[in-house]
Chains A and B, each alone.
Chain A
Amino acid sequence: MANLSDTETGSHTARIARMERDGLLSPSQAAQLRDSIQPRSADDSAGPTRGRWPARWIGVFLVTVLVIAVIAALFGSGGGPQTVQDVSSALNQPGGVGEMNATVSKLIAVAILLIVPLLLWALMHNSLVAKEESVFEAWAQTESNYQRRADLVPALVESVTRFIQHESEILTEVTRERGQSTGRLTEAIDELIRTQTDAADALRANPEVLIEDQQKLAQLFAGQASVGRSVGNLFAVVEAYPELRSGDQFLELQAQLEGTENRINVARQRFNDAVGDFNGTLRKLPWSLIASAGNFQRKAYFQSEEDARNAPKLNFN
């Protein structure tokens, strides 16, 4: 979901090639932009595949013990095959417990002592797995939205750079006066390409490793926040150009970027909720024992207080 299909990647690459051919982007900018939208390699995008080795061995051990216990209970009582049994002793007497009932009682005791804990262990383990899956799903949504924004950037760059080209071709007094503002547009585009390129590597990291490493996640978030700020800054500069910002195509792009920004916020919130639920469970007994045996690791949160203060306020009206 987070990654582009070949067709989508192809269309974005073709757009970048077209911009390079038309002189809207320098070769280095084109290379940066192309690199920034490359999807993660197939090996890294496989998702969470880490084995639960300790948990698996504990499971095998418990099942083996259970089988041995059942066999022992069945064959350990009642003597060998040659023994002539005193059937009367196995019959229930009024107020007494017969030999047969004693065997059943032993089996029930074994069941209570082994099967019930085993079942409980399995249920709790599965519940932890489900909670962890929720974290991964929430992360996939977040990542997908970051990628969605990255995909929109080439279209935004093309829209603005074509306008800059158009402006520079009409050498009127008015546009000469605007020369500095056009320069600001160019600067804003350069900054956007740079921040998107810087942020792209972090997004390509293996998600399983990423979301268990607070430092790496913080780096990713900082990078993506920079992209958001660059987009916001570009729109702020574009405000000075009514003919650019009131075009239908540009308005569509704005709406899509605003929508993506909102999706990112929602997905981030849901990711933090899922992580909170998972981490909170890990700290409680007896879940912590299951988690320790199952090699479940705490997940990192998006810690965005500082970035939230600097977050771009996109107002497209």
Chain B
Amino acid sequence: MRAMRQNSTSTKRLTAALIVAILAVAGLSVVRELQAPPALVEDDAKLMTPEERAFVADFHRFLVKDHDIDYRVVTVDDAGDINRFAVEQFEKLFDKSSSATGRGLLLVVDPTQDRVRLEVSFALEGAFPDAFIAYVENRQMVPFFRTGRIADGILASTELIAIRAQRAADNAGFDDEPWATASGGGGAATTARIGDGPEQIPVPPSPAEAPPTNTPEQALQAYFAAMDARNASPDLAFYTPATREMLRGWTITQAQMDQVVDTYRGCTAQPIKSDPTSSLAVIRYPVAERSCAPFFFENIDGAWALDLTMMQRAIRFGRTNAWRFDQSIDHPYRFAFTDWRFDENGFPAGVQ
């Protein structure tokens, strides 16, 4: 009798211990679930490599850090009505948002229907109106999608979004309201054109005479005019031969060309720096104008040409669109910056 009672007590204790253990494990997993950051990229349609997914997620984490914008990417095979799908997914995913101010973006890519939609939360509607979103999709993202570069298209769109967000923060700011986390259907959808092949941007008719490039300023002016006309032709006279070769393999979007014009409209060029021992020259901008990267020129047979090849190798842009030199790259245009100081990351820090 006593042994039976002891057995019963042991069983009860064991059961209690088991229940406590199960509850503890369940509790821990719930806590972990609550603490885990939401996935920024859900690539169900397998459009990106694991490295690309990680890179996009990292880039988007900076968007949260710098601008408190939670930008998610979902790829899915056959989303049905992509507009409705995006609203429903937005409601579901942003129930757990990383943004404290309701700033949310959701990109849905559907390769089966060849559609893409970028959904915008109420908080971002003022800064990112539908027309801007359609522009980002059509003029920046889709040109990369056409060549199958999904991750590059997403990253290129994120760059434009970051630039626009910075401007919004500098100017009127955002509409940060607690209710604004939801989406009311704002944003835009378009045909993704995945794998359709490179976009044929119509080249505007060339003027009867090529613009003179007797000085670096004239060459730069001709470049800005071409960008303003959205002329992506690699064969323009003011490019060096190496630049022409490089541009032939590039995807140049209309948004990128617009961005060049838009950025340099507010820049104040300094006097040309020439190297008396070579045929090189640089047009640079004040240190404080951090988005205005310098231009490199080479004199070839008496005409000045833009050396985008060396610029592309030597100059990098930070998350706030500020330029810096890649310290690991040696280039022959350093002569123009001997009177400037640079920090350890290559960002110009001031005049010596």
Q: Which residues of A contact B (CB under 8 A)?
A: 141, 251-256, 258-260, 262-267, 316-317
Closest A residue to B193 by beta carbon equals: A317
Decide if A141 touches B184 in the complex (CB within 8 Å). Answer: yes
Minimum C-beta distance from B178 to chain A (A): 14
Near A by CB (< 8 A), chain B positions 206-232 give none
Minimum C-beta distance from B117 to chain A (A): 9
Select one of A141, A253, A255, A266 contacting B188, CB under 8 A.
Answer: A255
Near A by CB (< 8 A), chain B positions 135-151 give 135, 138
Q: Which 8 A-B pairs have the closest CB atoms?
A: A259-B130, A255-B134, A266-B185, A252-B131, A263-B185, A262-B185, A255-B131, A317-B191
Given contacts A252-B131, A265-B83, contact A259 B185 (CB under 8 A): yes
Chain A residues with CB below 8 A from B188, complex form? 255, 258-259
Decide if B184 touches A267 in the complex (CB within 8 Å). Answer: yes
Near A by CB (< 8 A), chain B positions 162-209 give 183-191
Chain B residues with CB below 8 A from A259, complex form? 129-130, 133-134, 185-188
- Cβ of B87 within 8 Å of any chain A Cβ, yes or no, is yes
A253 to B191, CA, bound (A): 18
Decide if B87 touches A251 in the complex (CB within 8 Å). Answer: no
Sample 17 A-B pairs with CB under 8 A, ordered by A number: A251-B138, A252-B134, A254-B134, A255-B134, A255-B188, A258-B134, A259-B130, A259-B133, A259-B187, A260-B130, A262-B186, A263-B184, A263-B185, A266-B87, A266-B183, A267-B184, A316-B134
Select one of B185, B187, B190 contacting A265, CB under 8 A.
Answer: B185
Decide if B83 touches A256 in the complex (CB within 8 Å). Answer: no
Closest A residue to B129 by beta carbon equals: A256
A256 to B187, CA, bound (A): 9
Chain B residues with CB below 8 A from A316, complex form? 134, 190
Given A259-B129, A259-B186; 19 other pairs, CB 8 A cutoff:
A141-B184, A251-B135, A252-B135, A254-B134, A255-B130, A255-B131, A255-B133, A255-B134, A255-B135, A256-B129, A256-B130, A259-B134, A259-B185, A259-B187, A259-B188, A262-B185, A263-B186, A266-B185, A316-B190
A263 to B138, CA, bound (A): 20
A260 to B188, CA, bound (A): 10
Closest B residue to A254 by beta carbon equals: B134
A317 to B114, CA, bound (A): 12
- Chain B CB count within 10 A is highest, among A141, A251, A258, A260, for A258
Question: How many A-B contacts are there with CB distance less than 8 Å?
Answer: 54
Chain A residues with CB below 8 A from B87, complex form? 266
Given contacts A255-B188, A267-B185, contact A262 B134 (CB under 8 A): no
A4 to B133, CA, bound (A): 24
Chain A residues with CB below 8 A from B84, complex form? 265
Minimum C-beta distance from A92 to chain B (A): 42
Closest B residue to A266 by beta carbon equals: B185
Chain B residues with CB below 8 A from A251, complex form? 131, 134-135, 138
Chain B residues with CB below 8 A from A266, complex form? 87, 183-185
Decide if B190 touches A317 in the complex (CB within 8 Å). Answer: yes
A316 to B137, CA, bound (A): 13
Chain A residues with CB below 8 A from B189, complex form? 258, 262
Minimum C-beta distance from B203 to chain A (A): 15
Chain B residues with CB below 8 A from A254, complex form? 134
Closest B residue to A268 by beta carbon equals: B185
- Chain B CB count within 10 A is highest, among A258, A262, A263, A264, for A262
Minimum C-beta distance from B224 to chain A (A): 18
- Chain B CB count within 10 A is highest, among A258, A259, A263, A266, for A259
Closest A residue to B87 by beta carbon equals: A266
Decide if A262 touches B83 in the complex (CB within 8 Å). Answer: yes
Chain B residues with CB below 8 A from A253, complex form? 131
Chain B residues with CB below 8 A from A264, complex form? 185
A255 to B186, CA, bound (A): 10
Minimum C-beta distance from B278 to chain A (A): 42
A262 to B84, CA, bound (A): 9
A316 to B184, CA, bound (A): 20
Closest B residue to A263 by beta carbon equals: B185
A265 to B189, CA, bound (A): 14
Chain A residues with CB below 8 A from B186, complex form? 259, 262-263
A263 to B133, CA, bound (A): 15
Minimum C-beta distance from A303 to chain B (A): 19
Closest B residue to A270 by beta carbon equals: B184
Closest B residue to A315 by beta carbon equals: B191
Minimum C-beta distance from A180 to chain B (A): 27
A263 to B83, CA, bound (A): 10
Closest A residue to B191 by beta carbon equals: A317
Closest B residue to A262 by beta carbon equals: B185
A251 to B84, CA, bound (A): 23
Closest B residue to A141 by beta carbon equals: B184
